[in-house]
Structure 1
Amino acid sequence: MEGDFRLLGPIDLLQLLAQGGKTGAFRVEGGEVYLERGRPVHAAYGGVEGAEALLAVLALKEGRFRFFPGEAAPRRTLEGPLEAYLLEAVRRLGEGVEVGPFDLVRPTAAGLEAQATLEPEAFALLQAASGGKSPLDLAAATGLPLGRVLKGLGQLARLWLVEVSPRVPRTARLRVALGGKGAQVDILLLKAWREHFGRVLRVCVRAGEREAVLPVEGAEGLGVVLSLSPELLLFHGLKAGEEVLVWPEV
């Protein structure tokens, strides 16, 4: 097996070899990565060995490679499964699939198999996504900011550890909180609505039998919170902490 990185980069190639449980040496100019039954056991690149060498190989954008099956590593400088290194490489490179707040996300078979080997935040997202959830649901379930949830899911999707199905951005279940100015929702949520529906200036809010239409602005870091000023809370009979349904007036 040999070629160049024009169609598939080292991240994808090593992931394929790992998923196939291969043993051997993956060589590039100036470096090499050894696999043993799909797990990385040694890497060397540019005079460096271990994790940083593996991450340097994963970051390559051009060049040629060749895989030598069955070749044993001269020593062991790596521990753990490949997925953890791949996820770190994707983070460093800023690569990721675009995920919307309303999209349906579910773990793939590879994700379920790898989840116990990942760092805590990725593990929490995979566990919470079992059965299929939206990033908004995952932000509520994990307590993570919506922006971090979207970024983390994009990185997991880049490695095919989660499957993302686009959905129309419509109704969000949010928690009312006391704010300082008018009505505000997370800026990423408002962006998703505006990208689909155009200019969204007001939202409909339903709490039980009550319904209100409010001018809305975006604010960073609100996640699953609908921030309302004291005046709006009193006028519409809403309470901090209660859940409401919110959708754009179109």
Structure 2
Amino acid sequence: MTFQGSLRELHLPDVIQLVAVSGKTGAFQLVKGREEGLIYLEAGRIVHATLGDLSGEEAVYALATWGEGSFRFLPGEVPPERTVTKNNTNLLMEAARRMDEWRVLNKKIPSLDHVPRFQVPEGKQGQINLNTQEWLVLSKIDGKTGISEIARRVNLPAFEVAKLLYGLVTMGLITLEEPALEPAGPSGENAAMSAVENGVAVDSDDLRKELHGLLRKLREEAQIAMGEVGWSVILRAYRRAKSDLESGRGTEAVQTMCQEILSQAAHLEGPESQRHLAERFRDVLAEWNAKVS
């Protein structure tokens, strides 16, 4: 039976502890909206984690602040590398501490996607004293960039930047706004469709994001069609495609992922399952075509 559930019901440290005590090897897949993280265990010990640009212990701590989303344990998944050195006890204690601290920060900082903007404090005069890190963060505020991206630019954990911004919000120096939804322009959409059809390389950040979304949709369709028997195969193909996409292989990465999963579908579940999944992939690509044309 697959161990899966909602992070609204079970907090991440508790979820990991339940599996760790059994000494299992595998990976936790955590999904919240468009974000996805992975935490790998080897014989019950956390050895690797990823979330976006984060890896290792900071990725675990960032995932621990998620108050919503879903989790699923994939038994037998082997970590591609080892980035965690702390033992489970110290790691999960720190994760729990950050969860508690995030509940306080969350009262003024709804999410790490929010965009900080300067504002003039009303009724305040005199000198404002800030430390070096606060000035560094302030220097990156442009009214367009979200907290996570600011953290990347100043080379600090997003959690630490959120703590600094909490103080600045409390002082009335900045306000936070939800990120603007910016639809892709016609040229970007046409470029994306052309890339999917012709297998060209990708050198645009916007196009790369669109193709990451396509990868996720194809992965979801494969998971629905193949069920638990295909989870490991699908996840490996998906991770490889993401890496290839970031390496500049463009939509060749999408094509390769589809081919790999379809090949395994025939092997694991037979030709009929493969045909059904191939039809679903065609539907997804047709929907993509309609969206961007």
Same fold, TM-score > 0.5, yes or no: no
Normalised by the length of structure 1, the TM-score is 0.36
Structure showing the higher helix proportion among its residues: 2
| Larger of the two Rg values belongs to structure | 1
Normalised by the length of structure 2, the TM-score is 0.31
Structure showing the higher strand proportion among its residues: 1
